[in-house]
Structure 1
Amino acid sequence: MTQAKDSDTDLAGKRIAFVGKLGGMTRREARQLLREIGAVPVAEDDVAVDIVVLGAEEMPLQIGKILPESLQQAAAEQRLEVILETELWHRLDLMEQENFVRQLYTPAMLAELVGVPLATIRRWHRRGLIVPAREVHRLPFFDFQEVATARQLAQLLDAGASPAAIEKELALLSQFVPEVERPLAQLAVIIEGKQLLLRQGEGLVEPGGQRRFDFDAVDVNDTTGDLAGDGLAVVGRSAFGDAPGPVSPPTDDKRAALAGTQAHAQLRFEGEESPTVDELLAWAIDCEDAGEVDTAINAYRLIMAITGPHADWNFRIAELLYRGGDITAARERYYMTVELDEDFVEARANLGCVLAELGQMDLAIAAFEGALGRYAEYPDVHYHLARTLDDVDRAEEAREHWERFLAFAAASPWADEARERLGLLDD
């Protein structure tokens, strides 16, 4: 069991209630932890409660709907304290302990959980809006803190704010509080419609110290972002056996597109004799984030024409090709990615999914098995391999992977499907 440090005596004797679903551990584990440090776990309707902890699986901005009126009134009168789950773990000095086991989510799981395209999760990751708890073979894993952040970002999107507008708003907040790098994760940020407000003391401060920031005033040309397209709702894959041969040289059409991209690059970097690879990469990412799929693809090709083959750029081309509906071409690029970096497990997983989508089930199964050979605890691959095995009537083999999936990702948005396949759901 995770142990709190001796320095956490400020919570000793406090009566603490949990509201909503916890992200870091089960309620039973959390209550036991409170007892170990001398606190008293109580029900939320306890009249003598001192601290109410809002679970990380709940939206902080929904606190008015989650907390009973009696608790809201007590909090308003400062008779009790309401804190987020992450604040409790920080007070207990648990967040940095290696043995603090947290549910981790892959990009695909996180996308499903918060209801946004996978491409949007990748954008947030690239921009530093969400930060993985760890990475394994290039595959990022996000914890419950990042789930809460992603949900706030998703709410802004649902309210009509563009990805570019959100990023500009957060940049303003960071300037207003320069010691904070990630406002959504580190500050008491309140979302009101399409706007962000920073709580300080008794009042609310708007980005940059201004009275109100208007998302609608942001340049509409920057608003498409990742909302226009969807990426694979899955992760990695591994391919062996009858892999395609070397990719053929570019066709005349591809050469023309590449030439057009080069001309575009010359216009963008007018006044510079030769843009650097870093500048070209930043441009490619901007095109990708703006939903300019074809231009982004050709930009990455241009970069590799300069640098030579690169696993990351091939992977991005593969995802963009998939978003653009060219599944066969995406398959070839995933193969190339794996050839360039055999430990790129997310590329292997996506290859398996594409092969399954193309009806190449034996190759898909081999790809998934290859991914697990490099990272046996990859939950998404167990999930997709189990589904594929079920599709080819290999139910006993599928059962093993459904069970492994649940062992690794019991809180996944796909967990109920696994339980249903295993007959574990109540009728």
Structure 2
Amino acid sequence: MSTSRRRRREPSVVEQEYSVKDVARIFGLQEARLRYWAQTGFVGPSVRRGGRFYYTFKDLLGVRCAVDLLDKGLSLQRVRRNLDKLRSQLPHVDRPLSELKVCTDGDNLVVVDESVVYRPESGQVVMDFAVSALTDQLADVAPIAPRAEPPAAGQTAYRWFIAGCDAEAAGDDAAAEAAYRKALAKDPGIAAAHTNLGNVLYRAGKRDEARACYERALDLDPEQPEARFNLGNVLDDLGETELAIAELRHVATRCPEFADAHYNLAVILARVGGVAQARAHFEAYLRLDPDSEWAARARAELGRLGGA
């Protein structure tokens, strides 16, 4: 039986999820510090998957903002006090460091919300003449804003990693590859950088190199679902079907809400004659993602396999 196989693209840099270990390596922080920040509601991960917490790219921007504010001399207590003020002043904002443009004018935390620049601690609006002095800082923390220039040669691994993310978001895979390689040259232990580099290489048709990147990411963080999902897809491309099934089954078991792992696993199982298991995974996919563009195809495959 011929089954139309879905090649789901790998998660984009904006969709990627990052473990606590990854974020600690990216920013040069202790994992204990990140966990303390999360436990106290300062800044933390927003996704829970398979009993573990993960940071989204938006969460990553929040951490970057927190690190920058603390590096510029604001105390943790003062930043936290400002965030509490922001949450009371802007009840629609749950995660100020990730959702707003936040910086410091040297002495105070400053926020831009709907083109108004103000200090949340006092509620004072910053006059127009002061806005231009904040432009560079605001641009540096603006969500998903690609930088015009790459980091300087002496920058840290995390700056190169963020530059790679920015380049990917802008569709510049060549710049992204160069930035991820520089990040890994400075710190080979950033699992997410290996995964993202693998994604860039996969899009360039370099499947063996992509496979090596995903395998290295999993050596560093065995429970990273995106790396394992992408590895399963590459293995299937390379004709290593049994290994591909094992990797995708691992993702579907440990992260049962990962809809695309169910879909791709179902397609491969149907192709090799595992009809009952394929049906079960197509059904799981439809429970998780019933309105996607691929749902109709999943229902058609179920019909051909004798399911609902």
- Residues 10 and 230, structure 2, Cα contact 8 Å, conserved in 1: no
Q: In the aligned structure 1, how far is the partner of 2:299 from the partner of 2:171?
A: 37
Given the alignment, which residue of 246, 249, 252 partners 1:366? 246
Post-superposition shift, 1:294?
3.2
One-letter code of the match for 1:134?
V
Given the alignment, which residue of 176, 187, 190 partners 2:115? 176
Which structure exhibits the higher relative contact order, with contacts defined as CA atoms closer than 8 Å and separated by 6 or more residues?
Answer: 2
Post-superposition shift, 1:319?
0.7
Q: In the aligned structure 2, how far is the partner of 1:391 from the partner of 1:117?
A: 22
Q: In the aligned structure 2, how far is the partner of 1:334 from the partner of 1:372?
A: 17
- Residues 380 and 405, structure 1, Cα contact 8 Å, conserved in 2: yes
What does residue 295 of structure 1 align with?
175
Given the alignment, which residue of 277, 295, 302 partners 1:397? 277
What does residue 192 of structure 1 align with?
none
What does residue 47 of structure 2 align with?
134
Structure 1 residues 112-261: aligned runs within 5 Å: 119=12, 122=15, 134-136=47-49, 138=54, 174-177=113-116
Post-superposition shift, 1:348?
0.9
Cα deviation, 1:254-297, whole Å, max 9, x if unaligned, reads: xxxxxxxxxx97xx638xxx323343333333333343323322
Q: In the aligned structure 1, how far is the partner of 2:162 from the partner of 2:255?
A: 31
Paired residues, what number?
189
One-letter code of the match for 2:152?
F
How does the TM-score come out when normalised to structure 1? 0.38
One-letter code of the match for 1:176?
S
Q: In the aligned structure 2, how far is the partner of 1:121 from the partner of 1:287?
A: 11
**Higher helix proportion (structure 1 or 2):** 2
Cα deviation, 1:360-384, whole Å, max 9, x if unaligned, reads: 1111101111112322232211111
Given the alignment, which residue of 152, 164, 167 partners 1:269? 152
Cα deviation, 1:222-264, whole Å, max 9, x if unaligned, reads: xxx8xxxxxxxxxxxxxxxxxxxxxxxxxxxxxxxxxxxxxx9
In structure 2, do the counterparts of structure 1 residues 361 and 314 end up closer, same or farther at CA, with 3 Å as the change threshold?
same
Structure 1 unmatched ranges of 5 or more: 1-108, 124-131, 142-169, 180-224, 226-263
Given the alignment, which residue of 182, 192, 195 partners 1:315? 195
Bigger radius of gyration: 1
In structure 2, do the counterparts of structure 1 residues 178 and 410 end up closer, same or farther at CA, with 3 Å as the change threshold?
farther
In structure 2, do the counterparts of structure 1 residues 332 and 139 end up closer, same or farther at CA, with 3 Å as the change threshold?
farther
How does the TM-score come out when normalised to structure 2? 0.52
Post-superposition shift, 1:313?
0.6
In structure 2, do the counterparts of structure 1 residues 295 and 364 end up closer, same or farther at CA, with 3 Å as the change threshold?
same
In structure 2, do the counterparts of structure 1 residues 327 and 139 end up closer, same or farther at CA, with 3 Å as the change threshold?
farther
Percent of paired sites with the same residue: 32
- Residue 300 of structure 2 is aligned to residue 387 of structure 1: no
Secondary structure at the aligned position of 1:411 is classed as coil
Post-superposition shift, 1:413?
2.5
What does residue 327 of structure 1 align with?
207
Given the alignment, which residue of 280, 302, 325 partners 2:160? 280
- Residues 252 and 258, structure 2, Cα contact 8 Å, conserved in 1: yes
Q: In the aligned structure 2, how far is the partner of 1:422 from the partner of 1:323?
A: 30
Structure 2 unmatched ranges of 5 or more: 1-5, 17-44, 58-99, 102-111, 119-145
What does residue 415 of structure 1 align with?
295
Q: In the aligned structure 2, how far is the partner of 1:404 from the partner of 1:286?
A: 34
- Residues 13 and 165, structure 2, Cα contact 8 Å, conserved in 1: no
Cα deviation, 1:15-65, whole Å, max 9, x if unaligned, reads: xxxxxxxxxxxxxxxxxxxxxxxxxxxxxxxxxxxxxxxxxxxxxxxxxxx
Post-superposition shift, 1:347?
1.3
- Residues 371 and 381, structure 1, Cα contact 8 Å, conserved in 2: yes
One-letter code of the match for 1:382?
H
